[in-house]
Amino acid sequence: MSVLTEHRGHVLLIRMHRSAKRNAIDADMTAGLDAALNELEDDPNLWAGVLTGDGSVFSAGTDLANGSGEPTVRGGYYGVVRRRRTAPLIAAVEGLAFGGGFEIVLACDLVVASREARFGLPEVARGVLATSGALFRAPRALPLNVAREMLLTGEPLGAERLWSLGVVNVLTDTDAGATVDAAVALAEKICTNSPTSVRNTLQALDEITAGGDDAGWEVTGERLQSVAQSADLKEGIAAFLEKRAPRWING
């Protein structure tokens, strides 16, 4: 199974488990993430969730060889990024969170990261587009020029930089398991509070801050159509799979 779950009291720990592919998201992982997050929402005894990777990596994003499968009814892409949740979800990041992996992080409510974690949006280096929310969530979470830097250069930023900018809530040591332990502890702290109050607070924050999401998804879709049939997109993916530098055609 590419997604594993574990109950820790009122906390659901969700682990992406495809380390041989750097937790790249294919159709099976999308289905697994969707099922796990449906459980988090539907089980009244689960009050918070922690989403993590396989220790050495959070996620490299979409599996470019096989695709990430169809968006799910409740979660959208990856079963995550268009989901309206009432249970807080904490990203516990070790290693890299690139492309769709970082877009999943941006879709979470809180972020705990190892000091050695790295975050990136390398889509422009592949001839593709950040289609899973980063075009509007990155400039919401980051200063605009930093979001531009990530989206236009494709270069990653380290956890300590994102902590200084307020994206990462808690930095942890690099000891194995430290990030997940800290994320679970943060989730348990949330669970000491009234679940009704937490749920309604999260919904209120979502309604206040995510009011522009519909427009963001619309613009993202329009820009995607502009690159979907481009020669650059085909070349970028081919170069990635062939492990060579792309030869851009600009068309």
Beta strands in the chain (DSSP E): 3-8, 11-16, 48-52, 89-93, 96-98, 110-114, 118-120, 157-158, 170-172
Residue type at position 78? Y
CA angle at 161 for the pair 159 and 166, rounded to the nearest 5°: 90
Sheet with 170-172, side-by-side order of all strands: 3-8, 11-16, 48-52, 89-93, 110-114, 170-172
Q: For residue 40, what is the enclosing H or E element?
A: helix 27-42
CB atoms within 10 A of CB 173: 11
Whether 123 is catalytic is yes
Kindly state the tokens that stand for 139: 């400039």
Q: Which of 6, 123, 188, 235 is catalytic?
A: 123
Active-site residue list: 123
